[in-house]
Chain A
C-alpha cells in the first residue's frame, strides 16, 4: 500500500504527467495511421529514451502502447481501414455507424469503452498480476492451438449468410501464412528464392493492403456513383442514452475477457477483440443488428483490446517475457537503460513498478480527454472530398508499409493485397477471416506441430487439460450456436403460427 501511494506521488510529478500526455497523444496518432503501430512508435523513440530516467521511459512507452488502442479504432470507424490487428473488430459495426451518420456517437462510445476497459484492467493488474502470470504458464502448445482455433471458428461463424465465403477467405489466409522458413525443419516454403520472403509475410502489410488500399481501389471504381448519393450529415458528437444502455454491460463484461487474453503471449489484442465481438453477438437479443451498426458491437471489442494491452504488460513486468511485438521492443529499450524486467523487478524496484501501474490510471484519464476533444475534429474527415482523402490514405499506406521493414519489396506486396482486397469487396467476401488467419496461422501451425511432437504423435494431448477441454467446448458451441438459434427461432415462429392459426 505504501509503495502504491509512493508510486502515485511519482506519477504526479509534472515531468511524468508530461510524458504520459505526450505518449498518449503519440499513441493515438500512430494508432490511427495504417501501418504505423505502437511497436514502430516505441522503436523510433528508443534513442530519445536514452537520456531519460528509466521510470519515465517505461511510462512513456506504456502510454504509447495503450494510446494506440484508443487511436486504432478511429480509422476503422471513419474509413473502414483498421490501424492494427486489434482494431479490425471495430470496422464491423463502427463503419456502418459512420455510414448512417452516427460517426460522432461511434467515436465517443468507443473512447469511453476504451477508457473503462483500460481502467478496469489497471485495477486488475494491481490485484491479479501474479496469479494471472502463473495461469498463463499453463498454456502449452496444445492450449495455444485450441485458443487460435477458437478465434478462427468464431470469426467464420460471425459471417452468417456468407459462412462458405468466410471459410474460403480463412483458408486463403492460412495458405498465405505458410510462406517463409518453417521453424521446425528450416525448410523454405514458397519463398521463391526471395530472401525477403523467408521471414513470412508481415500481417500488417496485409491489413494495410486489403483494407486501406483495397478500400481506395473500390471507391475509385464507384466514385462517380458515390457522388450521386447524398452524404448523411453528422449531427452529434456524443452518444445517446439508448446507446449507453445497450453498451454498458458489454463494455464491463468484456474488459476481464480482454485482460486475460492479453496476458497470454501472442496476438493478444486481435484475438481478444474478436472473441469479445463474437461473444456479444451470441449473447445479443438482436444479433441481426450486428454488422449493421450495433453500438454494443463496437463498444465491446474496444473495451476488450484496451484491457488486453494492459494485460500484455504482466508477463513483461513479472517474468521479463514480452508477449507482443510492442512489449518486445519495450524490453529492448529497458535493457539499454539498465533495467531488466523479470521476476526480481517487483522486489528490487517496487517503486518503478507501482509508478508504472499508477501511470495507467492517469494515462487513461488523459487519453479519454484527448480523444473526446479529437472527435469533433476527426468527423471532419468524412467531409473531406474523396480526391483529397484517398491520395492521402495511399501515401500514408506506403509510408506505413516502408516503416515495417524498410524495404521496397513490401510495396509490391502492398499493391498485390490491395488488388486482392478489391476483388474480395466486389465479390462480397468477408475480409476479417483472411486477415485473422494470417495473424494467427503461423503460430497456430507451429503450436499444433509442437503439441504433437511433445506427445509423440498422440492426439490425446489436445484433451489433456481442463483448459483444453473448456476451449474445445466453447469452440463447438460458437460453431453450432448460430444454427441452434436459428432452429429455436424457427420453432418459436412455428409455434406462434400454430397459435395464431
Chain B
C-alpha cells in the first residue's frame, strides 16, 4: 500500500508538472511561444469538454500547431468559473464558450460577457428539438402550441438542467412567435439535464420536452418518441420526416452553438494566427467526422464574423429573457 500510494503520488505530481509548465513569458515575436492551454469550463465528459478535446486532438494530429496543447477543466457556475480563470491570462490561454457566456450576464449571474474576451471562432452547433411521446395527441408543433394557448397549465414541458439555457429559451421563442405568453408556460426543471428529460418523456411524466437534438435523435429513430420540429434551417440527414420550425410557420432558426475565445486584448497577429489555424482545422476530414459522431453541424465563422454574431445573439437573448419573465 505504501509503495502504491507513492506511485500514485508521483504519478499525480508528474501530471501536475506537465500541465503547469507554462511559466515562461511571452515576450518573443513568435506566437505561440509556449504551450497552448484550452480551458473547458466544465467537468470531463460534457459538451464543452468534448469540444475542447476535439480541437486539441485535431490540431495536434494534423500538426497544425507546433506548441503542445493541453485541456484544463474548470467547472462551475455554468461556465463562469472557467471564464473567470481565463480573463486575466495571456494569449496562450483559450476557452470554449457558448450562449451561456451571454445569458449568464443577461440573467445577472455574471459580470463577464462576450465583450470582455477576444472571440476567435464559432466552431460547431447542435440543433434544438421539441419532442412528444409516440402516442401523443399532438401531431405537429402547431397542434401543441394551440393546446398550450388554450390552457397553458395543462401541458407539462420538461427542460433541464435549469432555466435560461438554450433548451428553455428556444421553446420560449417558439411560443412567443405563436402569441403564447411565455410567462404562462408550465416548465418542469430536471436538474440532471438532457438524459433526465428524455427519461421523463418516455415514462410520460411530462407531455413535451425541449432539448438538444443529440438527446432525442436515436430515440426518434427507434420509434420511442416523436420529434415535432427541429430548429435548423433545413431538414436534417436521417431525420427527413421531421419538419423545421420555419416550415411549420414559426420563422426562427435556433442554433445551440459552441465557440472558442481568448483573453481580452489579443493582438491582431494572434487573432490572425487562430483564424488561419482554426479554419484549417474546420476543413479537415477528422473534424467533420467528429461533428458527425456528436450530431453536431459545422458552424465555423471567423473571428470577425463571430464578433458580429455575438452582438446579434446578445440582442436576441436579451429579448427572449425579457419575454420569459426570468428577470423582473
A residues touching B (Cβ–Cβ < 8 Å)? 29, 33, 43-44, 46-47, 50, 136-141, 181, 183-186, 188, 195-196, 198-199, 265, 315, 319-322, 328-329, 331-333, 335-338, 340, 342-344, 377-378, 380-381, 384, 388, 392, 395-396, 399, 405-407, 442-443, 446, 450, 453-454, 456
Contacts and interface: CB of A to CB of B under 8 A. Distances in A.
B43 A392 contact: no
Contacts of A333: 45
Top 4 nearest A-B pairs by Cβ distance?
A43-B44, A332-B45, A342-B218, A137-B203
B12 interface: yes
Contact of B76 (A199, A329, A344): A199
A336 B55 CA distance: 12
A238 B31 CA distance: 62
A186 B106 CA distance: 13
Contacts of B265: none
Given A137-B202, A265-B199, A336-B293, A344 B218 contact: yes
B57 interface: yes
B189 A454 contact: no
B164 interface: yes
Given A265-B199, A336-B50, A188 B189 contact: no
B224 A343 contact: yes
Contacts of A50: 57
Contacts of B156: 453-454
B162 interface: yes
A140 B205 contact: yes
Contact of A199 (B75, B107, B163, B219): B75
A46 B76 contact: no
A248 B77 CA distance: 47
Contacts of A328: 45, 195
Contacts of A319: 198-199, 202, 219
Interface string B74-102: 11111011001000000000000000000
A321 B224 contact: no
B53 A336 contact: yes
- Chain B CB count within 10 A is highest, among A44, A343, A456, for A343
B239 interface: no
Interface stretch (B1-9, B256-264, B310-318): B1-9
23 contacts: A29-B8, A139-B203, A140-B203, A183-B162, A183-B190, A184-B163, A184-B189, A186-B164, A265-B192, A321-B196, A332-B45, A333-B45, A340-B218, A342-B219, A342-B222, A344-B218, A381-B1, A392-B2, A396-B8, A399-B9, A405-B81, A406-B73, A406-B74
Given A140-B203, A319-B202, A450-B190, 11 more contacts: A139-B203, A183-B162, A184-B163, A199-B75, A338-B289, A342-B222, A378-B1, A399-B12, A407-B74, A407-B81, A443-B191
Nearest to A333: B45
Nearest to B156: A454
Given A139-B203, A340-B218, A344-B221, A186 B107 contact: yes
Contacts of B27: none
A contact face: mostly helix, strand, loop, or mixed:
helix
A344 B222 contact: yes
A138 B203 contact: yes
B256 to A, nearest CB: 16
Nearest to A199: B76
A443 B189 CA distance: 11
B294 A198 contact: no
Contact of A322 (B49, B195, B205): B195
B294 A335 contact: yes
A393 B206 CA distance: 47
B203 A446 contact: no
Interface string B188-215: 1111100110111011011000000000
Interface of B: 1-2, 4-5, 8-9, 12, 43-46, 49-50, 53-54, 57, 72-78, 80-81, 84, 107, 109-110, 153, 156, 160-164, 186, 188-192, 195-196, 198-200, 202-203, 205-206, 218-219, 221-222, 224, 289-290, 293-294, 326
Nearest to A315: B199
A405 B188 contact: no
Contact of B5 (A181, A315, A335, A396): A396
Contact of A454 (B160, B192, B205): B205
Contacts of A320: 195, 218-219
B218 A343 contact: yes
Contact of A332 (B9, B49, B74, B188): B49
A316 B294 CA distance: 16
A195 to B, nearest CB: 4
A342 B107 CA distance: 35
Contacts, number: 158
A453 B187 CA distance: 9
A219 B35 CA distance: 44
Contacts of B163: 183-186
A405 B44 contact: no
Most chain B Cβ neighbours within 10 Å, of A337, A388, A407: A407
Nearest to A395: B9
Nearest to B219: A343
A139 B192 CA distance: 15
A293 B22 CA distance: 52
A321 B198 contact: yes
Given A183-B162, A332-B46, A137 B199 contact: yes
B10 to A, nearest CB: 12
B202 A198 contact: no
A78 to B, nearest CB: 9
A384 B6 CA distance: 14
A331 B76 contact: no
B78 A335 contact: no
Contact of A450 (B46, B188, B222): B188
A321 B189 contact: no
A195 B195 contact: no
A46 B53 contact: yes
A335 B195 CA distance: 14
Contacts of B76: 195-196, 198-199, 405, 407
B199 A321 contact: yes
Contacts of A377: 1
Given A195-B84, A332-B45, A446-B191, A181 B198 contact: no
Given A183-B161, A335-B294, A378-B1, A195 B80 contact: yes
Contact of B189 (A47, A183, A195): A183
Contacts of A407: 74, 76, 81
A181 B161 CA distance: 11
Contacts of A29: 4, 8
Given A186-B326, A332-B45, A265 B195 contact: yes
A333 B293 CA distance: 11
Contacts of A138: 203
Nearest to B188: A450
Contacts of B188: 141, 450, 453-454
A455 B225 CA distance: 23
Contact of A380 (B1, B77, B109): B1
A139 B205 CA distance: 9
Given A378-B1, A384-B2, A453-B186, A43 B43 contact: yes
B57, B203, B326: residue with the most chain A Cβ atoms closer than 10 Å: B203
Contacts of A47: 53
B61 to A, nearest CB: 10
B77 A199 contact: yes
Contacts of B218: 320, 340, 342-344
